[in-house]
Amino acid sequence: MTEANHSLQDYAVQLLDKARAKGADAVDVVAARGTSVDIEVRHGTLEQAERAEGIDLGLRVFIGKRSAIVSGSDISDATLDLMAERAVAMAKLAPEDPYCGLADPEQLAHDTSTEHLELWDPSPEPDAKMLEQRAFEAEAAALAVEGVTQSQSAGASYGANEICVVATNGLEAHYRRTSSSISCVAIAGSGLGMERDYDGDQRIFASDLRDAASIGTRAGERAVRRLEPKRPNTGTYPILFDERISSTLLGHFLSAINGSSIARGSSWLLDALGTQVFPSTMTITEDPHRPRVSGSRVFDGEGLATTQRDLIRDGILQGWTLDLSTGRKLGMGSTANAGRGVSSPPSPMAWNVEMTQGDASFDDLVADMGTGLIVTSLIGSTINPNTGDYSRGASGLWVQNGEITHAVSEV
């Protein structure tokens, strides 16, 4: 490990030892060091520039089957003493939870190295001027699109984070992760006829980012194509969801198989395990080991080794998304899907999710629709997690005889 790693781990171990000395039966600590730079421009001038650096510590202690969490960003010895003292005092007063607790030592991942996942961009940190230039390029490209009247904003950012986790069950792991992004929001039209849309990209490696000009151009083109929308006639039509929207629909499915919802009995898929919930041609796979992808990791927030698994196989629901606590509540093992922050306990969350790929291109799908709707935006959140009832407003593009003809709204 680098000297920086040693320093961050030292804080975590120091806090763990203090909590044990205060009477905690078991302890885990998350230490995070982060740097972020955010630049936003508008109308060719710098609108906002922010830089943040800091260290955050999260302490979770257990007294029998009672637990508590405290967090802080002051790494002084006096503050670490106070954090340990308060966490133990809070845990003594907390209600008992028969399902809480750390992983058994034999459950922990044996190899926590993340080098093969390429989560850290070794390139020098971009300075503010470089990020500003990326934002300016995106905005200029958007304004160059015919029909775009102004930009709402364009931005570029960089972030670097280092995470260290230690626990009394023997867990000792760390990783580093970088992030670079470019975004642009364009406005087309004027007066009451104005429409806006956006585009953006975020990657671990800055070299993998799409060109800033192409992001701005696409944001502008998306805004222009929304102009002069019409309200379609009521009817039953084929629907094609834009890729930005389709991923949110899949998110509702992931929420429904989340162990927290299942354990509470509040999911519309509660009784669907082992049944067909998608077409038989559909398989949905979770792969936490994809290189250069933000959702990748070799161990979860509780130190368990992550693995690739099918959530849906040939349309059939294969299992839930579980951490240790929800797995214990359901009489199942964890699926190594515990995510956690510095100030929050572990909870189940999905990693990288992939759907079965089709053979047809977007243009092919549009041509095959005949007459129908391409949904590019959804409005509202009328989604009942208990029943699956779903009702939302939508806007998008109308397809007539296999060709996009105009924008639509108020659907």
- Per-residue pLDDT of 25-61, as tens digits, reads 999 999 999 999 999 999 999 999 999 999 999 999 9
CA distance 288 to 77: 37
Percent of the chain with pLDDT over 70: 99
* pLDDT-derived band at 246, boundaries 50, 70, 90: confident
pLDDT bracket for residue 2 (50, 70, 90): very low
Phi, psi of 380 (to 5 degrees): 85, 175
Residue 313 tokens read as 């196989």
Kindly state the average pLDDT of the residues 227-238: 93
**SS3 state of residue 279:** coil
Distances (CA, A) of 78 to 15, 72, 74, 231: 11, 12, 9, 64
Per the DSSP assignment, residues forming a β-bridge with 186 are 151, 197
Tell the burial category of 361 from Cβ atoms under 10 Å away from its Cβ (0-12, 13-18, 19+).
exposed
Summarize pLDDT for 79-109 with one digit per residue, the tens.
Answer: 999 999 999 999 999 999 999 999 999 999 9
